[in-house]
Structure 1
Amino acid sequence: MLQYSLRRLVIGIGMLVALSMLIFLLLRLTPGDPIDAYIDPNLPMSPSDLADLRRSLGLDQPLPAQYLGWLQQALTGNLGYSIKRIDQPVLGLVLSRIGPTVLLMGTALAFAIVAGITCGVIGAVRRNSLADLSLSVVALAGISSPAFLSALIGLYIFSVRLHWMPSGGMLTPGEEFSLGDLLHHLILPAALLSVAQAALIMRYMRASLLEVLNQDYVRTARAKGVREFWVITKHALRNALLPIVTLIGSTIGLAIGGAIFIESVFNWPGMGLLLVDAVQTRDYPVIMGATLVIGACVIVVNLLTDITYAVVDPRIKVG
């Protein structure tokens, strides 16, 4: 297990370096000169001042040298300073936004797991019934609906029309912090973020449980007179959950992509909103730092998922 974990860790580090190279290259290939983001268009600059600024930022060096210089600083924890917030380091900005994003994604993942597994079990146990067909239609709609569309529809229905939920933010401005106020702002964006994940888990759970219910040991348990409830929960469900472990880990990336849209629509102060603001203002250091942290989180989650799957399923060989 240790060798397997170390091997996966080395692969993850390689993927993270490749991701940083790709993002760095794509940012340099975007239209315009990166130095334009550092210049106030209302203040004239002479060519010599512009050359000095370019030299001080290292933008006069070849692209590989620029990347290696950035990577060397990043390995020490220095991700640079924000262009638009010149007094704030990128690492501090990113760390200040991780908490709200983890809260949003963790709540959404909890919703998705509970709803997806429950609906998947119902669909498998009552196969081809009205409940199964209805849940399948809902799951198909959830998978097909992009996150921004679900966010806009949910915002319009529950905030604009029904006035049940706040239309944005993490807390009510001007009021003291309270857990109830936080939950009131959290429920709607978390529920909307969980839609696609819950639909995927439901479909995989249904298919996995149907496969397990056709196994010989399940038929044997039924032949021995074991109650159907215990056949499902004790014998079938435990084995049917194994593929879901891998699926849950793989949906983290889907949740991060959805969180960017959800946070933008609901003005949730997390990593997604930070990244969107950085892209709009061409804040290159923040884009690089936020992308690097998000990529590292996805890689770590996938690593933990692989290790967890190998632990819970003794049939998996990790040598």
Structure 2
Amino acid sequence: MARYLLRRVLVGLLMLLALTLLIFVLLRLTPGDPIDAYINPSQSITAEERALLRAQYGLDQPLPTQYLRWLGQALRGNLGYSLQRYNETVAGLIATRMGPTLLLMGAGLCLAILLGIATGVVSAVRRNGMVDLALSSLAMLGISSPAFLSALVGLYVFSVKLQWMPSGGMLSAGAAFSWGDLLHHLLLPALLLSVGHCALIMRYMRASLLEVLNQDYVRTARAKGVRETWVIVKHALRNAMLPVVTLIGSTVGLAVGGAIFTESVFNWPGMGLLLVGAVEGRDYPVIMGATLVIGACVIAVNLLTDLLYAVIDPRIQVHGGER
């Protein structure tokens, strides 16, 4: 297990290194001169002043040199300063925005996992019945609905028309902090963020459980007179969870994209809203720093997902780094 863990960590580090290179190259390929982001549009500068600025920020160096300098600073935790907020570091901005994003994504993914597994089990147990048909139809609708569409429709229905939920923000303006107020603002965006992921988990859970229920050991347990509920919980559910765990790991990456749309629609003060504002303002340090942190989190979650295999199913053994 130790060798396997070391191998997965090394693979994760290589993926993170490749991510830093990809971020740097893609931003350098964007149209326009990066130095324009450092210049006030209302002021005109001479070619000499522009050349001095390029030298000051190291933009006159070859691209490999620029990349290695940025990578070296990033490894020290120095992600630079925001171009839109001149007195704030990128690391400081990310630190203040990470909490709200983790809260929103955590709530959304927990709802998606709980509801997806529960509805998947019910759909598999009631196979080909009315309940199965209804849940499968809702799942297909959820899978087909883009994150931005779900957020906009949910905002219009529950905030504008019914006025059951706040239309945006994390807390009520001017009000003292309370957990009830926070949950009131969190519930709708978390539910809408979970829609597509819940539908995917439900479909995977249903298909996996149906396959397991047809295995010989499940039929043997039934023949011995074991109660159906115990057969599902004790014998079938744990083995059926393996594909679902894989899906949950990849769902984190998908949830990042969904969180960006959800935070933008609901004005939720998280990483997604920060990244959208940085893209609109061509704030290159914030874009690079935020993308790097998000990518590192996704890689770490995928690593944890791989390690959960051996915990969920003891039949899986790791020998010499191979499963």
**TM-score, structure 1 as length reference:** 0.98
Identify which range, 165-174 or 38-47, moves more after superposition: 38-47
- 1:169 and 2:169 aligned: yes
Residue of structure 2 equivalent to 1:276: 276
Superposed, 1:273-312 pairs within 5 Å as: 273-312=273-312
Tell me which amino acid in the other structure corresponds to 1:96: T
| Residue 312 (structure 1) shift | 2.3
Tell me which amino acid in the other structure corresponds to 1:147: A
- Provide structure 1 residue ranges, at least 5 long, that are not aligned to the other structure: none
Question: How far apart, CA to CA, are the structure 1 residues paired with 2:122 and 2:26?
Answer: 46
Residue of structure 2 equivalent to 1:231: 231
Residue of structure 2 equivalent to 1:101: 101
Residue of structure 2 equivalent to 1:60: 60
Question: How far apart, CA to CA, are the structure 2 residues paired with 1:317 and 1:87?
Answer: 52
- 1:15 and 2:18 aligned: no
Superposed, 1:170-249 pairs within 5 Å as: 170-249=170-249
| Residue 250 (structure 1) shift | 1.1
Moved over 3 A (4+): none
What are the superposed Cα offsets for residues 189-248 of structure 1, whole Å, 9 maximum, x if unpaired? 000000111011100100111011111111111111122111111221122122222211
Question: How far apart, CA to CA, are the structure 2 residues paired with 1:41 and 1:248?
Answer: 45
Tell me which amino acid in the other structure corresponds to 1:264: S
Question: How far apart, CA to CA, are the structure 1 residues paired with 2:242 and 2:38?
Answer: 51
Question: How far apart, CA to CA, are the structure 2 residues paired with 1:29 and 1:56?
Answer: 21
Superposed, 1:64-143 pairs within 5 Å as: 64-143=64-143
Tell me which amino acid in the other structure corresponds to 1:152: L
Question: How far apart, CA to CA, are the structure 1 residues paired with 2:12 and 2:46?
Answer: 46
Residue of structure 2 equivalent to 1:315: 315
CA RMSD of aligned residues (A): 0.9
Question: How far apart, CA to CA, are the structure 1 residues paired with 2:47 and 2:231?
Answer: 78
What are the superposed Cα offsets for residues 94-113 of structure 1, whole Å, 9 maximum, x if unpaired? 11111000100110111011
Tell me which amino acid in the other structure corresponds to 1:15: M
Question: How far apart, CA to CA, are the structure 2 residues paired with 1:20 and 1:310?
Answer: 31
Residue of structure 2 equivalent to 1:35: 35
Tell me which amino acid in the other structure corresponds to 1:125: V
| Residue 317 (structure 1) shift | 3.4
| Residue 29 (structure 1) shift | 0.9
Q: Is the 8 A contact 2:155 2:167 kept in 1?
A: yes
Counterpart secondary structure, 1:241? helix
Count of residue correspondences: 319
Question: How far apart, CA to CA, are the structure 1 residues paired with 2:184 and 2:53?
Answer: 48
**TM-score, structure 2 as length reference:** 0.97
Q: Is the 8 A contact 2:142 2:196 kept in 1?
A: yes
**Percent identity over the alignment?**
72
- Provide structure 2 residue ranges, at least 5 long, that are not aligned to the other structure: none
Question: How far apart, CA to CA, are the structure 2 residues paired with 1:47 and 1:128?
Answer: 73
Question: How far apart, CA to CA, are the structure 2 residues paired with 1:270 and 1:27?
Answer: 22
Residue of structure 1 equivalent to 2:147: 147
Question: How far apart, CA to CA, are the structure 2 residues paired with 1:197 and 1:222?
Answer: 33
